[in-house]
Amino acid sequence: MQKRTEKREANQYDKIVKENIESIIPTLMNSVLGFRVKEAVISKEKLQQTKEKEADALRIITDPAGQKFIYT
């Protein structure tokens, strides 16, 4: 019973993060990695792993200098 409750809480946390990640990416990148984000584009590509699955929040980030980064 406790595992079911923990899973439900984790799912709620994941949902909150997915809904709000777009607005915090620029600030997070600036404060943690030390660069500004000029643009963040959602990528529809799939990540190749042992099992192929779609990433929840795969983004291609472009900084003001034009450098591109992949953020998952």
Q: What is residue 47's predicted lDDT score, i.e. its pLDDT?
A: 65
Residues 18-68: pLDDT tens digits?
A: 888 888 878 888 888 887 878 777 777 776 666 666 777 788 888 888 988
Q: What is residue 52's predicted lDDT score, i.e. its pLDDT?
A: 63
Q: What is residue 37's predicted lDDT score, i.e. its pLDDT?
A: 79
Q: Domain map of the chain by residue range?
A: 2-71
Distance CA 17, CA 45 (A): 20
Task: Tell me if 61 sits within 8 A of 25, measured CB to CB.
Answer: yes
